Amino acid sequence: MAGMKVIGEKFKNDKIFVPGVLVAARAMNTGMEILKPKLIESGVQSAGKVVIGAVESDLHDVGKNLVAMMLEGAGFEVYDLGTDVPTEEFVKKAKEIDADIVGLSALLTTTMNEMGTIIEALEKAGIRDKVSVMVGGAPITEDFAQEISADFYAKDAAEASNVAKDIKKKIAS
Partner 1 sequence: MIIIGAQINTSEHEEIIDIIENKDKKRLLEITKHQLDLGAEMIDINAGQRIKTEVEDIAWMIETIQSEFEIPISIDTPNQEVFKECLKKHNNNYGRPLVNSVSGENERLNKILPLVKKYNAKVVGLLMGEEGIANKPTERVKVADKILKRTRELGIKDEDVFLDPLVLPVSVDTDNPLTTIKTLRLIKDQFPDVKTICGLDNISYGLPERPLVSSIFVAMMASAGLDSFLVELSNVTYSTIKTVEMLKGKDDMCMDYIKQYKADKLDIYKPGKMEVL
- Residue with Cβ nearer partner 1 (110 or 149): 110
Task: With beta carbons less than 8 A apart as the criterion, state whether 135 and 145 touch.
Answer: yes
Can you list the alpha helix ranges (DSSP code H) found in the chain? Answer: 2-12, 18-41, 62-73, 87-97, 114-124, 142-147, 157-172
Interface pick for partner 1 out of 1, 3, 6, 17 (rule CB under 8 A): 17
* 14 near partner 1, judged by CB under 8 A: yes
Helices and strands (DSSP H and E) totals, the chain:
7, 5
> Looking at 36-44, 108-116, 128-136, 164-172, which segment touches partner 1 (CB under 8 A)?
108-116
* 108 near partner 1, judged by CB under 8 A: yes
Size of the site for partner 1 (CB under 8 A): 15
By DSSP bridging, strand 101-105 and strand 49-54 are parallel
- Residue with Cβ nearer partner 1 (22 or 125): 22
- Residue with Cβ nearer partner 1 (27 or 59): 59
By DSSP bridging, strand 132-136 and strand 77-80 are unpaired
d(CA 60, CA 54): 7
Binding site for partner 1 (CB under 8 A): 14, 17-19, 22, 59, 62, 83-84, 108-110, 113, 138-139
